[in-house]
Structure 1
Amino acid sequence: MKIEFTPDPALYPFESRWFDSSAGRVHYIDEGTGPPMLFFHGNPTWSFLYRRIVIGLRDRFRCVAVDYLGFGLSDRPPGFGYTIEEHSHVVGELVDHLRLENLVTVGQDWGGPISMAVDVARADRIRGVVLGNTWFWPTDALRMKTFSRVMSTRRMQRAILEKNFFVERLVPNGTARHLSPREMDHYRLVQPSPEARRGIAEMPRQIRAAAPLLQRLAREVPALLGSKPALLVWGMKDFAFPPRLNLPRMQAAFPDHVLIELPRAKHYIQEDAPDRIADTIVARFG
């Protein structure tokens, strides 16, 4: 399934690029020159989420932002399972295709586990990591387990697929600032039908279903990436990843880290504090 949506160049002033992965056609942007930086989004977002951060960094870095299969402008291929393991494999193919070396990866929400899975397989090519409001270990938090179970019920799956629940409810609730109607359309219109939303519907299930991958990452990330310089940027008003429950383990995994607290930001930190995030990335890795 191909998505017929043209982003507004005033909001998304980038050239669309395409990569034919082993599973389907992937959309990405590749902006600027300099040390490469790869941006990983979460649910139910796409590379549009990073637009203002990329604008702020592309004069210093080569900024690559990808849409996973089932998200944004990427295809919805028949037979694709939309598991975290599959997403990691496809993005890894893109990294290898682009021959990215000395790479800094940036991940938020599901972009954390996916970026970490890509990174541990290529640890010698990773320069550093940026993580915000995310995790990469099997969750023992009751709120996340409950969220996964509730969102996996038939009723909520129907709400996600038929009423675009994640975009219509969770995106506004997860941002401190009010998104404009045109900005909301960029999240809404790339998911135009129930068939287009199957990737979104699968991710809540993956909180529990991806436990084997998350168990492996819990071991391998500290072992293979723990010595890398890290930047942790955290929205302190996030309902999904409250700092007291997630930051201590993240800090322990990356001893060489800098922590930046975003006091007013909620879950979608890229919408709430893009300039601050871009500035701290420059300070840490520029």
Structure 2
Amino acid sequence: MATAITSAERPDWLPEHLFPFDSRFVGVDGHHIHYVDEGSGQVILFLHGNPTWSFLYRHIIARLSDQFRCVALDFPGFGLSTARDGYGFRPQDHAHVLGEFLDMLELDEMLVMLHDWSGPIGLSVAVQRPERFVGFIVGNTFAWPLDEKWRFRAMARAVGGRWGASVERQFNTFVNLAMPLATTKHLPHEVMRCYRKPFPSAESRRPIHVFAHELLASHGFLYEVQKNLGKLREHPALLVWGQRDVAFRASERARFEEVFPGHELVLLEDANHFIQEDSPDAIAEAIDEWEDLACSHLR
């Protein structure tokens, strides 16, 4: 079902010292899905948002894979995954792929880490199958419509509109500008290269623009996620929140505190939006310490 590629097949822009994991591929609904599956034990599923891929979690996986089974996939059109013709790249489309992926790998009793767009994507799957998830690690994300916040309306209309599509396709702006601005740590050239290379052409950057457009256009999908969050109320949650994020702020964190009343909170004082780049050690340590509580009923 799934195969690992050899180092000879690894893209030349992805050095092994930065991403020291076997790349595996599986066919899901006509897509060629890349994922990593490292270690053994309690499963932690790591989900990425825009414009990242499983590479975002490299430090955390390296830290935790000696104690956990760490699984991270790339959604179609991101990282090393390729999408079938006609794919829409909307969050509901990715949610369908994620559900099929979990079925194919027979993943159950999972912890899952959510970030950016993978918050509503992952939670939309979880509210349909709450029994398959034992806890949630939530970092700088959302799970409801964003229409009420001016900053998201402005981003969706500017970046997600026709002008934004043209600029994104020409300059790869989400990677080249947004990522450096949304991290507190300097991202070295070889790291930025690994974020740029999955989007070498104008057409390959369409998935990035779709996510920006869907900040408002996916109101219905996001409303359904929000409406069903009560199904997860009894699940334990670890909130790891970057304090310097200008997009997902304390107000979004407070809403997750209400969604998960049994949560534990770790504030990442020096982290911006991409917390996995800014504070990977703090996140890994928090997960390691919290997992005993989240999974105690399974033992």
- Calculate the TM-score normalised by the size of structure 2: 0.92
2:154 paired residue number: 146
Deviation track 1:3-31 (CA, whole Å, cap 9, x = no partner) reads 98342110000000111011411110000
Give the one of 103, 115, 139 matched to 1:108: 115
Aligned pair 1:255/2:275, yes or no? no
Identity %: 40
Between 1 and 2, higher relative CO (CA 8 Å, sep ≥ 6) is seen in: 1
Counterpart AA for 1:195:
E
The CA deviation string for residues 174-193 of structure 1, in whole angstroms up to 9 with x for no partner, is 10000000000000111111
Q: Distance in 2 between matches of 1:4 and 1:57?
A: 23
Q: Which of 208, 220, 226 is the equivalent residue of 2:233?
A: 226
- Equivalent in the alignment of 2:32: 25
**Per-residue CA distance 1:212-269 (angstroms, 9 max, x = gap):** 1111111111x211110000000000011112x2111110000000010001100000
Match of 1:68 among 72, 75, 91: 75
The answer to whether 1:199 aligns with 2:207 is yes
Q: Is the 8 A contact 1:251 1:257 kept in 2?
A: yes
In the alignment, structure 1 residue 159 sits paired with structure 2 residue 183: no
Q: Deviations over 1:20-64 (max 9, x none)?
A: 011411110000000111111010000000000001110111100
Q: Distance in 2 between matches of 1:275 and 1:141?
A: 32
Give yes or no for the alignment of 1:130 onto 2:151: no
In the alignment, what sits opposite 1:10?
Answer: 17
Aligned-partner Cα distance in 1 for 2:218–2:160:
14
The residue type equivalent to 1:101 in the other structure is D
State the 1:152 CA deviation: 2.0
Shift of 1:161: 1.0
Structure 1 unaligned spans of 5+: none
Question: What residue identity is the alignment partner of 2:164?
Answer: M
Taking the aligned partners of 2:69 and 2:10, their CA distance within structure 1 comes to 27
Match of 1:285 in 2: 291
Q: Is the 8 A contact 2:111 2:135 kept in 1?
A: yes
In structure 2, runs of 5+ residues without a counterpart are 1-8, 293-299
Q: Which amino acid aligns with 2:118?
A: G
In 2 relative to 1, CA 4–162 (structure 1 residues): closer, same or farther, beyond 3 Å?
Answer: farther
The 1-side partners of 2:37 and 2:129 are apart by: 20
SS at match of 1:281: helix
- Contact 2:110–2:134 under 8 Å retained in 1: yes
C-alpha distance in structure 1 between counterparts of 2:163 and 2:10, whole Å: 28
Q: Moved runs in structure 1, 4+ residues, more than 4 A?
A: none
| Match in the other structure for 1:47 | 54
Determine the structure 2 residue equivalent to 1:209.
217
- Per mean C-alpha deviation after superposition, the further-off stretch among 194-203 and 174-183 is 194-203
Is residue 2:64 matched to residue 1:57?
yes
Q: Give CA-to-partner distance per residue, 1:149-180, whole Å, 9 cap, x none.
A: 11122222111111101000000001000000
Task: Provide the rounded CA distance (Å) in 1 between the counterparts of 2:198 and 2:113.
Answer: 22
2:237–2:263 CA contact under 8 A, matched in 1: yes
Q: Distance in 2 between matches of 1:4 and 1:71?
A: 16
Take 1:59 and 1:120, find their aligned partners in 2: how far apart are those partners?
30
Larger deviation, residues 39-48 vs 74-83: 74-83
Secondary structure of 1:252's counterpart equals helix
Q: Distance in 1 between matches of 2:136 and 2:249?
A: 20
TM-score of the superposed pair, with normalisation by structure 1? 0.96
